[in-house]
Structure 1
Amino acid sequence: MNRVLVAESIAAPAIQYLKQYCDVIIGRGAGFLAEDIKDCDAVIVRSAKVTEDIIANNSRLKVIAKHGMGLDNIDVKAASSHGVTVINAPFANLNSVAEHIVMLLLSLSKYTVLMDQFVRKGEFKQRDNFKMIELSGKTVGFIGMGKIPRKVAYKIRNFDLNLIAYDPFIKESELADLSVKCNDLNSVLEHSDFLIVHTPLTPQTRHLISISELKRMKKTAYLITACRGGVVDEQDLINALEENIIAGAGIDVFEPEPPLTNNPLLKMDNVILSPHNAALTATAFENMGMDCAQGIIDFLNGEKPKYLCN
């Protein structure tokens, strides 16, 4: 019988589905992947890194399933060269992540976390020291206009916002129904009151946003990112926040993850942090697991998986 390694936790229904067809091995976590994957035909990973060495040293491995969309932790080129199929779950968490980004946008504009802390500490009068931001008439800029940013734009379109975007692979005509205007990168940086950075992490997008880009932003602007740590240069972002180059940030992703305990972001009141959990609503978590499980079973049964990546 085929053996499937579940390297990191996934939803119980997905495990139960796999058990109908395969022997399921529950892994010990990302750090044990190289050991746990031995003699397995398939593996499901979330953040565990599937390197060329792991692929080359496991000749029985036939299929790698990514629990989510991004493939930056899987050496897809090496998988292809060794005849290993890679699949993912590209639609399972789109709504969850989009909702999370909208939450960060609203929370930053209303100082939600800080106000909550003041009330709990009995500092009710602090409300007079902060004037919240009304979104009507403000400009939200997008760096990257893939599936998730488009969902965000759809969700916030009735806030009476100006929506602008930079994405060299997208034509403005594709965004007409969202009332998003395409601009060059510098224009989006300079005009955005809230900048949503959402691109895949590739060699070309690593540190796409660094100090030079941050210095082009308004001093009153906020940056939001929930894609991958590394698209925004984290140290440059810290410097920009410490030097009041921008007003604040909403961050769901870090480099490295988890963030180090001495990371200055952890002590900043003008930053809202979440532990890379934008995709982890109950619905999205189950959908990602089931898409991976279904794709693996389809492949092992000689059928074409729905979401092939190589």
Structure 2
Amino acid sequence: MRAEHDFFKVCQTPELACEITLQPIRRFELDAAIIFSDILVIPQALGLEVLMVPGKGPTFPEPINTPEDLKRLDHDVDVSKSLKYVYDAITLTRHRLEGKVPLIGFAGAPWTLMAYCIEGGGSKTLSKCKRWLYAHPNESHQFLKLLTKVISEYLIEQVAAGAQLLQVFDSNAEFLGYDQFMSFSLQYLRSIASSVKAGLKERGIEPVPMIVFAKGANYATKELSEIGYDVVHCRGLMEAPSVTLQGNLDPCAMYAPPDEISQLVSQMLTKFGTQRLIANLGHGVYPDFDPDHVKAFIDAVHVHSAKMNATN
């Protein structure tokens, strides 16, 4: 699919996005599907051009360089119209899934989207964006508030279109220390959770579970478990009886032989015991993973979970 179509063209074409969403569900015994899209559709909706450059990744030809550049953004964007292709893909996919598994919708978190908009793409340091936090703190909060508003509206529309669970990805959280995370990320993640729930209630739509994934912010897992999300993605064992945990196995474990993957899964599930857990990788699937090793992970989760449930 990627060889024949531009990345964002796939995102913007419901039939293609639906097909890619369904492919792993056909191949593996997964417990949920996640809609094929990208976190950077929101900067696009705000008026910024984003390209997916082969060998480089997402690229902003004209990033946000100065606070004055914030005026270039569409502060009154109507995401119900500008991102309709995402909702159409969700609705189509819900129908095609025929109830086999639930469908997850998602969005990038404000800090992560701000970083992409200012850096102009990926970065090993985020020095341009972190400079804003020190040199332009007021404008940084202004930008984050705008992103929070748009993200919340976007997620509400996803549920209206058929998403049964939502995940918020703060993929760049690892670049912040504790104090900066509290100020420039956590409060906006909290606002999204409360705004989405209030917005759904106002429209008479049943609320859905929400997952928060703040990559690398293990120092704030406790705080993340207290801001209104039902599931917190984490990379280690923690006590969190009030929420479900997600994640944990090192993605690079997929390079191990299938038998060893099974042992690693068993160890992980045993450590978590009765803590509610969505077994997953600590982060995403890398392009060079052997699909048979991914299957070994998924199969091992089913086998070892069944054993634990039988024992309990």
TM over 0.5: no
Structure with the higher helix share, 1 or 2: 2
- For the pair shown, the structure with the greater C-alpha radius of gyration is 1
Instruction: Point out which structure has higher relative CO (alpha carbons under 8 A, 6+ apart).
Output: 1
